[in-house]
Amino acid sequence: MELRFTAEQEAFRKEAREWLEANVPKEPLPSMDTKEGFAAHREWEKTLEKGRWGMVCWPEELGGRGADLFDWLIFEEEAYRVGAPLRVNQNGIYLLGPTLMEYGTEEQKKRFLPPMASSDEVWAQAWSEPNAGSDMAAIRTTAFLDASGENYIVNGQKTWASRGCWADWGFGLFRTEEGSERHKGLSMMVFPNDLEGITISPIEQLDRETGFAEMFFDNVKVPVKYLLGEEGKGWNVAMATAGFERGLMLRSPARYQATARKLVDLYKEHEDTAPVSAREAVAKCWMKAEQYALNTYRTVSFLKAGGKIGSEASLNKIFWSELDIEMHELALSILDAVGEILPYAPAAKGLVGHWLDGYMFALAGPIYAGTNEIQRNVIAERLLGLPRK
């Protein structure tokens, strides 16, 4: 055990910090779930790419630095430290990217990874369907091979496609075997969102932004080369991706550590008026953010030593989603009566309202990427060995 950073890691951190301080936009970008915000975020991805900071742990030929996940964590810490924009291509770089590296053919990697790294192609994910939410194995959208054997013909509907409104490409799980049920006969596929027969309809969410979309498929021809992994083995591929989503990459610890530190500052500003109980509650949130970070470093150590993570990702999902809500609720309780004011209201002075925005977003945490109830089932049955039936 050695929990101090190496000289190389410290040097890497210094380099990242200097570059970020010089390059992060002075003003926060508009929300990535608006048209102009999406464009601005894509621009930021290009800036990152130019500095070779897009995905530091990707190989050099993909614009990365061939660094390890520790460096990625350090980079994330520095990015949150200066308040860098969030990653508009997160479905690509954090979820599909690692999946492609594990399951993609050489050709697919060459075709998809470089434009993903540069965000010339931004990705949407399309798992859920109206009747397949928590129960993802209930997927009904079909993709049957046509007579030529060259294309899958896709029919059906996906929903909750994140970044679905503006992304260039999508990936999802489709039923490729006629008559198959549940986890069997599913395949993972990627597709350009502008294929003929795809209709995209934005979902207006609580904040009236459209981070999600419905995608309708009407006899859409998807070339067989876009199949990812074996036909009919899509469930396994998807589970690997979901593992990345719930576990390590989607929510880097620095995100919560940054929120925790802001919460400490907020409390100090309002110490005179905050409820007395807020003091220990703030300290506890800070502690939990720290615990989440420690566990991530521990997981990375484990992966580096050749370990594999599976259902443990479900523990993470519950921890970060609940912590996020806890921190934002606490912040709002410290803000008291002004906590409900929208960011643009004069009295919000541009800052107060962000806790409200953050809270609204946090509320979705226990739902997306598999509801926390599903995660609790996974933990009980797969980690604790409780009987299924």
Partner 1 sequence: MDFSFSEDQKMFQETLRDFLTAEHTSATIRELWDSETRRSSELWQQLCEIGIMGLLVPEEYDGMGMDEVDLVLCLEEMGTHAFAEPVIPTLVGTRLLADLADKSLAQEWLPKVAGGEAILAVQYPESPFVQDAHVANLLILQKDGELHALTPDQVKLTRQDSNDPSNCLFSVDWTPSADTLIAQGEEAAKLSAEAFDRGALAAAAQLLGCGQRMIHMACEYASERKQFGVFIGTFQAIKHMCSNAQVQVEYVRPAVYRAAFSLANNSVNRSVNVSMAKLAAGEAAHTASRVSMQVHGGQGYTWEQDLHLWMRRAWSLDLAWGSKQMHSQRIASIVIDQGVPTAPLGESWLA
Give the active site residues. Answer: 245
Q: From partner 1, its own copies, none, which one binds at residue 341 (CB under 5 to 8 Å depending on kind)?
A: partner 1
Nearer to partner 1 by Cβ, of 16 and 116: the residue is 16
From the list 147, 276, 305, 337, which residue makes contact with its own copies (rule: CB under 8 A)? 276
Q: From partner 1, its own copies, none, which one binds at residue 366 (CB under 5 to 8 Å depending on kind)?
A: partner 1
Q: From partner 1, its own copies, none, which one binds at residue 6 (CB under 5 to 8 Å depending on kind)?
A: partner 1
From the list 73, 186, 249, 281, which residue makes contact with its own copies (rule: CB under 8 A)? 281
Nearer to its own copies by Cβ, of 35 and 279: the residue is 279
Find tokens 């997160």 and name the residue: 90
* Footprint on residues 190-249 left by its own copies (CB under 8 A): none
Q: What does DSSP say about strands 212-223 and 151-162: parallel, antiparallel, or unpaired?
A: antiparallel
Q: From partner 1, its own copies, none, which one binds at residue 315 (CB under 5 to 8 Å depending on kind)?
A: partner 1
From the list 66, 130, 275, 307, which residue makes contact with its own copies (rule: CB under 8 A)? 275
- Is 2 exposed, middle or buried (CB count within 10 Å of its CB: 0-12, 13-18, 19+)? exposed
For residue 176, give Cα distances in angstroms to 80, 137, 199, 240, 323: 41, 13, 21, 19, 39
* Footprint on residues 314-373 left by its own copies (CB under 8 A): none
Choices 48-56, 71-79, 82-90, 272-280; region in contact with its own copies by CB under 8 A: 272-280
277 binds its own copies (CB under 8 A): yes
Nearer to its own copies by Cβ, of 224 and 283: the residue is 283
**Core vs surface per residue 214-230: b (16+ CB within 10 A) or e:** bbbbeebebeeebbbbe
Q: How far is the CB of 160 from its own copies (least distance, A)?
A: 25
Q: What does DSSP say about strands 227-228 and 186-192: parallel, antiparallel, or unpaired?
A: antiparallel
- Token output for 373: 């109830």
Nearer to partner 1 by Cβ, of 43 and 68: the residue is 68
Q: Return the DSSP state at 85.
A: P
Nearer to partner 1 by Cβ, of 182 and 225: the residue is 182
What sign results for the dihedral spanned by CA atoms 89, 95, 96, 100?
positive
Cβ proximity of 172 and 188 under 8 Å: yes
CB within 8 A of 292, min separation 6: which ones?
253, 256, 257, 316, 319, 320, 323
Nearer to partner 1 by Cβ, of 21 and 61: the residue is 21
Q: Which of 121, 196, 211 is nearest to 160 (CA)?
A: 211
Nearest-angstrom CA–CA distance, 73 and 254: 8
Q: How far is the CB of 354 from its own copies (least distance, A)?
A: 26
Give CA 48 to chain center in angstroms.
18
Q: How far is the CB of 270 from its own copies (least distance, A)?
A: 15
Q: How far is the CB of 199 from partner 1 (least distance, A)?
A: 18
Nearest-angstrom CA–CA distance, 84 and 82: 6
Choices 139-147, 260-268, 273-281, 325-333; region in contact with its own copies by CB under 8 A: 273-281
Give CA 246 to chain center in angstroms.
8
107 binds its own copies (CB under 8 A): no
- Token output for 197: 């027969």
Q: How far is the CB of 120 from partner 1 (least distance, A)?
A: 30
For residue 233, give Cα distances in angstroms to 34, 92, 189: 36, 21, 11
Nearer to its own copies by Cβ, of 83 and 275: the residue is 275
280 binds its own copies (CB under 8 A): yes
Q: From partner 1, its own copies, none, which one binds at residue 244 (CB under 5 to 8 Å depending on kind)?
A: none
Q: How far is the CB of 276 from its own copies (least distance, A)?
A: 5
Please count the residues of the chain: 389
Choices 234-242, 251-259, 278-286, 298-306; region in contact with its own copies by CB under 8 A: 278-286
- Contact residues toward its own copies (CB under 8 A) are 275-277, 279-281
